[in-house]
Amino acid sequence: MAMTETSNRNEINKTDHVTSIWWIVVAPTVWAVHFLASYLTAAIFCAKVADSDRSAGEVQLAVMAYTVVAIVIIAGVGWAGHRRQRDGHGRSPHDEATAADLRRLIGLSTFLLSLLSAVATIFTALVFYFVGTCH
């Protein structure tokens, strides 16, 4: 019976794919850290440093720096996910009981989540582009 499928997992290195599950949440975590850092920087700056009419140029610069770092990491993760997803000749829906398809599905999810995280990160950054004061 179905034992053959469960035992042909030796195709790829086991440690690799046990850790690769964490890849799924890396990009959204980067979004979360970027989001929180941007929010806290703005909140603390506006409460402690600036009057409501003063420009928040320092915050804009800081968030720009956060954004560059975040997008670079997200892009890297997304690229890694994309490579996993395209591994071999596998095509969607990645529903075989093989290690290769498991790896491809994790790759696909990683890739898609990094796209979403990139969009959400840029959304956050755009706010700082458009709103320049603490008012």
Partner 1 sequence: MNADAPSNPSGDDRLDANAKRLLDAWRTPTRWRYWSAVNNSEVGFWYVVASFTFFLFGGILALLMRIQLAIPDNDFLTADQYNQVFTMHGSVMMFLFAVPILEAISILLLPEMLGARDLPFPRLSAYGFWCFVIGGVFVCGSIFFGVAPEGGWFMYPPMTTEYQTGVGVDIWLLGLSFIEVASIAAAVELIVGVLKCRPPGMQLNLIPLYAWYILVVAVMILFAFPPLIAGDLLMELQRSLDWPFFDASRGGDPLLWQHLFWIFGHPEVYIVFLPSIALIAMIVPTFARTPMVGYGWIVLAAVGTGFLSFGLWVHHMFTTGLPAISIGIFSAASQAVAIPTGIQLFCFIATLLIGRVTKSVCLLFTLGGLATFVIGGLTGVMVAVAPFDYQAHDTYFIVGHLHYVLIGGTIFPIVAGVYYYYPAVTGKQLSEKLGRYAFWLMLVGFNVSFFPMHLSGLLGMPRRVYTYPAELGLGTLNLISTVGAFVLAIGFVVFLFDVLRSKKNQPLAPRNIWNAGTLEWLAEVPDKPWGVRSIPIVTSRYPLWDQPGFVDDVDAGHFYLPDAEEGLRETLVTSVVDADPIQCLRVPGPTFLTHFAAIFTGGVFILSTYHWYTAATISGVLAFITILVWLWTGTAPIPEKQEKDVGRGLTLPIYVSGSQAVGWWAMFITMLGDMTAFISLIFGYFFYWTAHDDFPPNGSSGPGWIWPMVAVLTILLAYSATLAARRWNRQDHATRFYGAIACGVVLSIVGGLALLYGPLTHQMDPTAHVYPAIVWVLTIWTALHVVLGVVMHLYCAARRAAGRMTARCDADIVNVTLYWHFLLLTTAITVLVIAGFPLVAK
- Least Å distance, CB 77 to partner 1, is 13
Site for partner 1 in 86-105 (CB under 8 A): 92-95, 97, 99, 101-102, 104-105
Residue 4-23 contact track with partner 1, rule CB under 8 A, x = bound: -xx--x-------xx--x--
6's tokens? 């469960």
Calculate the alpha carbon distances from 76 to 9, 80, 88, 120 in Å: 27, 6, 20, 16
Contact 125, 67 (CB under 8 A): yes
Three-state SS string over 88-121 comes to CCCCCCCCCCCHHHHHHHHHHHHHHHHHHHHHHH
Residues that bind partner 1 (CB under 8 A): 1-3, 5-6, 9, 17-18, 21, 24-25, 28-29, 31-32, 35, 38-39, 42-44, 46-48, 52, 56, 59, 92-95, 97, 99, 101-102, 104-106, 108-109, 112-113, 116-117, 119-120, 123-124, 126-128, 130-131, 133-135
